[in-house]
Structure 1
Amino acid sequence: MTAVATRRATARPAGFATDLMSIAGRALRGALREPEAVLPALVIPIFFFAVNVGALENIGPAVGIEDYRAFQLPVAIIFAVTGVNRAQALQQDIVGGYFDRLLIAPVKRSALLLGLLVADFVLVIVLSIPVLVLGAVVGVEYATGAAGLIVFLLIAGLWGIAFNGFSYAIALRTASAGAVGASFILFFPFAFLTTTFVPEDALTGWLATVAVYNPVTYVLAALRSLISEGWDAAALAGGLVAILIVAVVSFTLSTLALRGRISRG
């Protein structure tokens, strides 16, 4: 009996870090088995980059942009990292009953959500690399050098996981495949009611007003500063604050949805 008790004791999870990495590892393995769920994150940004540059590059000098390709690369990276998540897999786990089994297992509740976000961060970083390679191929250089490139990648990744909180909130709240699939629509106001095509000082009317309150405006400004201006502390701080605000809102919603799901379970 003592040996059995010892084996049972050693079989218990080591703690939060173990739970976190277990959830993240499972999510990453699931992504590898379902490449069709993440490949659009490569096709969409490359498509928009090619179309935007091809159609609008000639207007760059007229609106004060010296290198329109460098101006558009942050837009492509935002498209690459936004909406890349395992929310659809989470929805399937809820419907299939696997999530309920996790709830009765000795797993830290916070790790159920944070583990997925860790996996998302890895995914968006990996998916960003081909977009950065595309930028290098077309001649985009970084005024901040290699260090700036790393910061560029990290800021993009942080934005990606900050936005993903909304998708997980929807998955946990509704357990609906349709609702989760439609969650990407939330990104369109962020993506297009901002400085996607021209600088902020070239915007007019209501669009200029909306752009001031759009967090993506500040994220794009931070990313563009790393390419064209150098280490601009104000632009970088503005981008990070914007990401933090979105993260607080989205993570609060997803945490509340997780608590609701746990209480119902």
Structure 2
Amino acid sequence: MPDALPATRAQVPTPRPNLARRAGFVRDVIHIAGRSLRQARREPETLFPPIFVPVFFFAIFIGSLESIFGQAGIDEFRAFQLPVSIVIAVTGVTRAPSVVTDIMNGYFDRLLLSPVNRVALLLGMMVADLAIVAALTVPVLIMGALVGVQFTTGVLGMLAFVGVALAWSLAYVGILYAVALRTANPTVTAQTFLLFFPFVFLSTTIVPREEMTGWMDAVAGVNPLTYVYGALRSLITEGWSVTPLLHGFIAIVVVGVLAHTLAHLALRGRVSRARR
């Protein structure tokens, strides 16, 4: 009997270490962003509206209003309208609808069971959004060059122009993720973008504030898009003017803080519901 004890002990399996560990915040962001970009590549039709809509508005505004505002003393109307096109192109370009799909099919809840960083879930999709938005700025810039728009700030100003557009896109997209995570409703999430259009037309989209009177001037004065347009337009026509760039930066930060706070609160609520 004593001789059999060592053999019995030798048959006891050694416990394996727990392999489910965090891969790291940066790696989580890269994996989530990569998945979102692969999804976008399989759905190229979703990129058609962000390209068509700004080109359509630019052509309509130039074709119907350029001669009128040229006579009214508003110079370089095409340069005045190019920022409108790029803002419309980059606003609301997001993978938020895919979040709704993941929630509905249960993938999002399974993802929450993994050791992936919760903030990386949101940030990774936003990184993918930025990559897509950066690509969408190219046709807008080409369109501007074709109609004769020139940057007084040169190539660096053009890069800064794209940077301001990307910053605005990143700030605003938090609203869409907040709605997607909160409602998990594809219809509501898709219709959220419609809320952006009143802000477009209650700002300096068509004319500068100097040409506005009454309530329209007051509303445009508190509309963040007015200052984003101002920053973008200054890079085309005014040079490196500090004041409009600073105002645009402040407007983007304010919108970004509010929108991303809502998005992170919605993510926290979704995580809490998944744990129940």
TM-score (norm 2): 0.92
What corresponds to 2:90 in structure 1? 81
Structure 1 CA distance for aligned equivalents of residues 14 and 77 of structure 2: 71
Q: What is the correspondence of 1:214-253 to structure 2 with a 5 Å cutoff?
A: 214-253=223-262
Aligned counterpart, 2:153: 144
Q: Deviations over 1:30-66 (max 9, x none)?
A: 1111111121000000000000000000123344321
Residue aligning to 2:217:
208
Larger Rg: 2
The answer to whether the aligner puts 1:169 opposite 2:178 as a matched pair is: yes
Residues in 2 aligned to 1:165 and 1:63: alpha-carbon distance in whole angstroms: 39
Q: Across the two proteins, how many residue pairs are aligned to each other?
A: 262
Structure 1: which amino acid aligns with 2:184? A
The 5-angstrom pairing of residues 115-154 of structure 1 reads 115-154=124-163
| 1:29 is the counterpart of 2:29 | no
User: 1:193 maps to what in 2?
Assistant: 202
The reply on whether 1:259 has 2:273 as its aligned counterpart is no
CA distance in 2, matches of 1:64, 1:96: 56
Tell me, yes or no, if the aligned pair for 2:28 and 2:116 is still in contact at 8 Å: yes
Cα distance in 1 for residues equivalent to 2:97 and 2:87: 20
1:14, distance to aligned residue in structure 2 (A): 2.8
In 1: Cα distance, 2:229 partner to 2:58 partner: 14
Contact 1:25 1:119 in 2 (8 A): yes
User: How does the TM-score come out when normalised to structure 1?
Assistant: 0.95
Measured in 2, the distance between the counterparts of 1:33 and 1:65 equals: 44
Contact 2:209 2:220 in 1 (8 A): yes
What is the one-letter code of the residue matched to 1:127? L
Q: Superposition RMSD on alpha carbons, in Å?
A: 1.4
Distance (whole Å) between structure 1 residues aligned to residue 201 and residue 71 of structure 2: 20
CA deviations on 1:160-184 (whole Å, 9 max, x unpaired) are 1111111100000000011001010
**1:38-117 → structure 2 map (5 Å cutoff):** 38-117=47-126
> What runs of 5+ residues in structure 1 fail to find an aligned partner?
none
Quick one: distance in 1 between partners of 2:233 and 2:240? 11
Determine the C-alpha separation between the residues in 1 that align with 2:229 and 2:72.
17
How much has 1:204 moved relative to structure 2?
1.4
Is the contact made by 1:27 and 1:86 (CA closer than 8 Å) also made in structure 2? yes
**How far, CA to CA, are the matches of 2:68 and 2:228 in structure 1?**
23
CA–CA separation in structure 1 for the residues paired with 2:79 and 2:100: 38
Amino acid at match of 1:88: P
Are the equivalent residues in 1 in contact too, given 2:151–2:236 (CA < 8 A)?
A: yes
- Contact 2:152-2:236 at 8 Å conserved across structures: yes
Contact map agreement 2:23 2:116 (CA 8 A) in 1: no
Amino acid at match of 2:96: A
Q: Distance in 1 between matches of 2:190 and 2:203?
A: 24
Q: Which runs of 5+ in 2 are unaligned?
A: 1-12
